[in-house]
Structure 1
């Protein structure tokens, strides 16, 4: 038997289907709203800088403070499989759930869990520890999630050397070298007042670390102290070394004044000496001339004359 359906029947079926779809959608929205309201997340993000090979604390605190001693505390990291960095459940550390990369390097401050302190201690940091970490105490309502952006840096103190001294041109060439940096670094030459003289970016070496080798030429008239400073691109870490230009190329105005003064004194003394010598020489010359013109005396007659005058 063939059933004939009119246009009105099709219209009723369509309306009923549309009504069901609306009810389903509304139910899904209502359930989603209720679920979201029951597990609303408060996300806080902080940035932490640490040095390679050092220990670092990733901060995480419940607000307001809640006793998390019996709660499941989970530390995870984005873009990591498995993502678990540290897991505590039923007051036990589930080490088998952790990513092998962090084996034996993480721990909670269990004595501070009662005050809502979920901070994680990460020991002996590695470069590949850099990333975004999340912290939460599962089962709380609302659920609080903290996010930590950990940035690991490798830094070394630069070495400054005097490469060449040009006595004729009165110039000195200084070199600054450092390696083993991560991430990218920037080198700056500074004078004694902190003014930037020159800059240079690092290059990526074959070992995966950044290196810098920079030279600078200074005139002998420049200030004596020069500083080589190397800092990470974000500026969170920096190291520096200073040096003094060699004395042999440092002209000193004080020394020049002393030399000029000594020369003036020498010239004055020389002039006085010449004048005195000239005066004495002229006197001696006149005396010699007088002695030459005087007639010779008879010594015997002079003696007789003196005897007669003085019987």
Structure 2
């Protein structure tokens, strides 16, 4: 699946699937409705090319969400991704040229809520970003499904 560049997508998709609420103590908060897609932002301010770099996304400091190492990642053969995220996490390959390591979590679930880190361990100095994802429960209107006698 080929994704379009993040800049145009981010301005449209975030409005539809998640809202970036801002920074609180260095943590970016993203809110998404359950079942929607959420973009978790992570970009180097230097806009340095990261196609040959390593970056690692984790949830709550433990669960492996997405790891990219010079082109090898969970969607093309790397093992170790937590079952919760298999087949649901994508990145923006074209955006790596401008330092963008953002990811999309497809079909968000309540259990996806938590604090995510985007870590560049080999950069000098290393870089660490914190993103809090809040997945809000969606309630379906089933009033039309009720039938009376």
TM exceeds 0.5?
Answer: yes
Q: Which residue of 2 aligns with 1:104?
A: 87
Q: Which residue of 2 aligns with 1:119?
A: 102
Q: Which residue of 2 aligns with 1:91?
A: 71
Residue 78 of structure 1, CA deviation: 1.2
Q: Which has the larger radius of gyration?
A: 1
Query: Do structure 1's residue 70 and structure 2's residue 32 form an aligned pair?
Result: no
Q: Which residue of 2 aligns with 1:270?
A: none
What's the C-alpha RMSD, in Å, of the aligned pairs?
2.0
Secondary structure of the equivalent of 1:111?
Answer: helix
C-alpha distance after superposition, 1:42-101 (max 9, x if no partner): x94100000001001001110121111100111011154xx2110111311134121011
Q: Which residue of 2 aligns with 1:48?
A: 30
| C-alpha distance in structure 2 between counterparts of 1:79 and 1:91, whole Å | 23
Residue 145 of structure 1, CA deviation: 0.8
Residue 157 of structure 1, CA deviation: 6.8
Q: Map of 1:92-241 to 2, 5 A cutoff? A: 92-94=72-74, 95-156=78-139
Residue 155 of structure 1, CA deviation: 2.7
| C-alpha distance in structure 2 between counterparts of 1:101 and 1:159, whole Å | 28
| C-alpha distance in structure 1 between counterparts of 2:81 and 2:119, whole Å | 15
| C-alpha distance in structure 2 between counterparts of 1:137 and 1:108, whole Å | 15
Distance 1:159-1:87 versus aligned 2 partners, 3 A rule:
closer
Q: Which residue of 1 aligns with 2:43?
A: 61
| C-alpha distance in structure 1 between counterparts of 2:34 and 2:126, whole Å | 33
Unmatched segments (≥5 aa) in structure 1: 1-42, 161-311
| C-alpha distance in structure 1 between counterparts of 2:36 and 2:84, whole Å | 16
- Cα contact 2:61–2:116 (8 A) shared by 1: no
| C-alpha distance in structure 2 between counterparts of 1:46 and 1:156, whole Å | 26
Secondary structure of the equivalent of 2:79?
Answer: helix
Aligned residue pairs total 116
Secondary structure of the equivalent of 2:120?
Answer: strand
Residue 159 of structure 1, CA deviation: 9.1
Higher helix share: 1
Unmatched segments (≥5 aa) in structure 2: 1-24, 144-149
Q: Please give the TM-score of this superposition, normalised by the length of structure 1.
A: 0.35
